[in-house]
Structure 1
């Protein structure tokens, strides 16, 4: 049976059964899925908000989208580029003096004082492409001195918002050497948090105010922000993580005392937002429409094309192989697909995942958006089976 969006209702039913299996097996308490193609939107809320609870998961449930914040922050930066308030290849020192006169470790495992001068200054392009020279070190905790220093300074990337206000956070970051030369290697996360500070300083307002005025309000994203107001907390489910010793699920963040229950000290451009599946669809649809949403134009078509094009060298992708392979890469704040080897890996597809169990991508070729919202933390950068099965199920539902 054909639908106007070219999706099979029978096969969408198959997707429901596959995703419901994760709830029935107790792997997640509940989840919400969305598949939109050619403007036809299918949303499915399955299970409960909490393990053993009786409050059902709903379409307007609010989720911690963590790193799915990154594409939004990158879009905000490109708004300022279009207004010539920021320039892609201008050093960021003008607004981020904490990052001037960088020093770089001679080697990853070396002492913090074994350093050389940076070959050049850090640019906005470096932040957008996560090639500024510092970020998540993908190794066991405290394996290297710089890892320990990053953690002790409260700068280690993770699923929770940073505890320090932006100026203090930048001061602490500025006290540490870079791990690699600017532009040399891709390192996850930290560049997006710095980008959020840069946007706030360039716009002379808090990051959330800028995002609200320039992205959230024009797109009707009424439930997206850096915290959940008290009146909406009942719509925020608990988040869960795997207990290392027992393998069972334990609460990571309880809505009754949630880290997201009050305005954060640091509005994290790398991972601080909460949102709903319909709010995030609006952002994805804007990006799919090359910057336009209804009567609103958020970005120009060339900006979106630039953001969603491959920005990494083959060597940089190989060095970050836990995130990328020979079929994927990174643009400006988004992961992109470059080669097809499965149902969902359509070249040109772009988006990203969130560490607390969310995934959202736009596919220009299929005129399609898919979003999965759970609240179970990922155990590693490798997508969990619930992500893999969602995307397989979404693409197998195409019926033309």
Structure 2
């Protein structure tokens, strides 16, 4: 049935020849079984270390769906409700102000937990907007504390500092990618009474056997971390930036980023994907209820909010629970089904799930700014084109 998956090899080898990537891994899952898993190129080109199933990848924003699943666990246990105001859990998010090109003014309403999960909270990432520049000061201080030998803030304390920054817009007014998943990580800590890492390990990683997933890498595993690369005018070079207050993973970080902080292998992350594909269950282990996964995989935006999905990678898509949700395959350029969902990370790791076809696809690389590109879509079209 999956003979045409051989074209994945052709595309990956072409990418290696063009030096678009140094190496990568691809997995295809159908009806809960891995039907394709191949590794290409190098985990570290300088040493000649080949890519393998052992390699650890910096997930960056592929952390976000795991944080969403943790929030869904709290929801189905009655610990939170999506309409609850954020200020109940993190008091600095009370009486929020909005700062934009028109100046400073009170927000029209409180941020809710649902606003966090849909990226409609108004909480910015550091950036060039008035609010983003203020947020950049907060993130800059946290980064300096790590890089200059200071004392970085814990997850909750760092997020409480974010609550002192004005919002980019009134909650619910539109969609804008930002630090909402990091804030949700602090909510999970507050509600569970556990560090985010402890909650994820107990409730998701250990039950699923995800033994290589976490916020830091033990010394004996560190050699398995794949080297990141970035395209430069001189060619494909090693990427050395520390983005979004992410450390070198050599020790447990003070700030456990629910938006970008996890590392994992493609085989470990496949276990999480299989759980979602199994509507909350994998290998006899149930993590979430079927209806909870249906909610997690749904487009939660209003028409007005969806109009602000202006990224090229969001064409034909909706959004909810830190993931894109396919609405129009033709507009998106995919041959998948409406209702397909997934996400990607800044260093290229990508996954998507098609519930209708019981099919999932993972593409893991460490290539900066390649999370969702035309190459990713070409690979995906090969996968769905293999269905008979």
> How far did residue 265 of structure 1 move?
2.0
Contact kept in structure 2, 1:136 and 1:187, CA below 8 Å: no
- Judging changes above 3 Å, is the alpha-carbon distance between structure 1 residues 181 and 155 closer, same or farther for their aligned structure 2 residues? farther
> Residue 237 of structure 2 corresponds to which residue in structure 1?
249
CA distance in 1, matches of 2:121, 2:68: 15
* Structure 1 counterpart of 2:363, from 360, 367, 372: 372
Contact kept in structure 2, 1:19 and 1:386, CA below 8 Å: no
> Residue 7 of structure 1 corresponds to which residue in structure 2?
2
Q: Is residue 2:109 matched to residue 1:109?
A: no
* Structure 1 counterpart of 2:30, from 13, 26, 37: 37
* Structure 1 counterpart of 2:11, from 10, 13, 18: 18
Q: Is residue 2:385 matched to residue 1:355?
A: no
Q: Is residue 2:49 matched to residue 1:64?
A: no
> How far did residue 75 of structure 1 move?
0.7
CA distance in 2, matches of 1:98, 1:200: 16
What CA deviation, in whole Å up to 9, does each residue of 1:53-77 have, x standing for no partner?
Answer: 3211001211111111111101101
TM-score by length of 1: 0.88
User: Which deviates more from structure 2 when the two are superposed, residues 52-61 or residues 227-236?
Assistant: 52-61
> Residue 184 of structure 2 corresponds to which residue in structure 1?
195
> Residue 291 of structure 1 corresponds to which residue in structure 2?
280
What CA deviation, in whole Å up to 9, does each residue of 1:343-367 have, x standing for no partner?
Answer: 4442111110111111011111111
- Judging changes above 3 Å, is the alpha-carbon distance between structure 1 residues 258 and 192 closer, same or farther for their aligned structure 2 residues? closer
> How far did residue 253 of structure 1 move?
6.2
> Residue 3 of structure 1 corresponds to which residue in structure 2?
none
Contact kept in structure 2, 1:318 and 1:324, CA below 8 Å: no
- Judging changes above 3 Å, is the alpha-carbon distance between structure 1 residues 318 and 16 closer, same or farther for their aligned structure 2 residues? same
SS at match of 2:62: helix
What CA deviation, in whole Å up to 9, does each residue of 1:89-126 have, x standing for no partner?
Answer: 11121221111111122xx224xxx3222222211111
CA distance in 1, matches of 2:84, 2:352: 30
Contact kept in structure 1, 2:336 and 2:381, CA below 8 Å: no
> How far did residue 46 of structure 1 move?
0.8
What CA deviation, in whole Å up to 9, does each residue of 1:161-180 have, x standing for no partner?
Answer: 99642243223212211111
CA distance in 1, matches of 2:386, 2:185: 37
> How far did residue 195 of structure 1 move?
0.2
Q: Which runs of 5+ in 1 are unaligned?
A: 1-5
SS at match of 2:357: coil
SS at match of 1:153: helix
CA distance in 1, matches of 2:263, 2:318: 25
> Residue 73 of structure 2 corresponds to which residue in structure 1?
79
Contact kept in structure 2, 1:29 and 1:48, CA below 8 Å: yes
Give the 5 Å matches for 1:194-213.
Answer: 194-213=183-202
What CA deviation, in whole Å up to 9, does each residue of 1:122-173 have, x standing for no partner?
Answer: 1111111111112247xxx54x433322212217999xx9964224322321
CA distance in 2, matches of 1:280, 1:157: 28
For the aligned residue pairs, the C-alpha RMSD in angstroms reads 2.5
CA distance in 2, matches of 1:202, 1:89: 15
What CA deviation, in whole Å up to 9, does each residue of 1:8-34 have, x standing for no partner?
Answer: 2xx222211211111222221110000
What CA deviation, in whole Å up to 9, does each residue of 1:171-205 have, x standing for no partner?
Answer: 32122111111111112131101000100111001
- Judging changes above 3 Å, is the alpha-carbon distance between structure 1 residues 177 and 215 closer, same or farther for their aligned structure 2 residues? same
SS at match of 1:34: strand
- Judging changes above 3 Å, is the alpha-carbon distance between structure 1 residues 317 and 157 closer, same or farther for their aligned structure 2 residues? farther
* Structure 2 counterpart of 1:387, from 376, 381, 388: 376
Contact kept in structure 2, 1:317 and 1:324, CA below 8 Å: no
SS at match of 2:363: strand
SS at match of 1:150: helix
TM-score by length of 2: 0.90
Q: Which runs of 5+ in 2 are unaligned?
A: none
